[in-house]
């Protein structure tokens, strides 16, 4: 599978995105030949975390969310991290971007606490997804069906539970992102 010619957006909070959930999907897209654009609320660099509390590395932000639209991209990755996901879901601009990806039925891959943005965007009605277990009630209250599985694909939404699921998550997101709009689920 190749992502040649595909442009994929990946969100990162100014501080608090879980580093492996950011780095591994980003690297999987690049390894498959895709172009990654790192999007955040602020310009400059964004600091990741490990295990929610330990400082990770800083990554250069390519674009601020206020300056992008879903039309520019073929897919979206939403990493987890409790702190980072909570910051991102508090932004109406980020929620609007996620909502636009969902409305356009473009692939969205969200892991761990990342599905909180799908809840906020109203993108889970009648969708089967997984996440970190503590999001189950939020997902069900948003009309979604929560399951405890390594990776779940429901139409164009790809979800996983935690960093242990990253190999399967990355494999499936590359597979789904590689499909042309005509062959997408």
pLDDT band at 181 (very low <50, low <70, confident <90, very high): low
Residue 185 pLDDT > 60, yes or no?
Answer: no
- pLDDT tens-digit series, residues 97-131: 999 999 999 999 999 999 999 999 999 999 999 99
For 135, which DSSP code? G
What is the pTM for the complete model shown? 0.96
**Alpha helices (runs of H) in the chain, residue ranges in sequence order:** 19-31, 82-89, 92-103, 115-120, 136-141, 166-178
Domain housing 35: 7-178
Q: What is the pLDDT of residue 180?
A: 60
For 134, which DSSP code? G
Does residue 2 sit within a domain? no
- pLDDT tens-digit series, residues 38-94: 999 999 999 999 998 899 999 999 999 999 999 999 999 999 999 999 999 999 999
Does residue 28 sit within a domain? yes
User: Which residue numbers are catalytic?
Assistant: 112-113
Give how many domains the chain has, as a whole number. Answer: 1
Residue 179 pLDDT > 90, yes or no?
Answer: no
Does residue 185 sit within a domain? no
Could you count the other beta carbons within 10 Å of the beta carbon of residue 60?
11
Does residue 83 sit within a domain? yes
Query: CATH number, domain at 160?
Result: 3.40.50.880
């Amino acid at each position: 599978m190749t992502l040649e010619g595909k442009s994929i957006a990946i969100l990162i909070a100014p501080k608090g995105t879980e580093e492996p959930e950011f780095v591994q999907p980003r690297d999987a897209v690049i390894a498959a030949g895709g172009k990654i654009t790192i999007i955040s609320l602020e310009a400059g660099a964004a600091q990741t975390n490990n295990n929610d509390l330990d400082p990770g590395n800083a990554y250069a932000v390519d674009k601020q969310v206020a300056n992008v639209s879903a039309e520019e991209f073929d897919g979206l990755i939403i990493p987890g991290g409790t702190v980072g996901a909570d910051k991102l879901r508090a932004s109406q601009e980020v929620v609007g971007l996620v909502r636009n990806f969902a409305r356009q039925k473009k692939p969205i891959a969200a892991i761990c606490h990342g599905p909180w943005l799908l809840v906020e965007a109203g993108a889970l009605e009648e969708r089967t997804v997984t996440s970190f277990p503590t999001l189950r009630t939020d997902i069900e209250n948003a009309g979604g069906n929560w399951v405890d599985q390594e990776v779940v694909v429901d139409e164009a939404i790809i979800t996983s539970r935690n960093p242990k699921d990253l190999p399967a998550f990355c494999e499936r997101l590359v597979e789904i992102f590689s499909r042309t709009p005509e062959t997408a689920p």
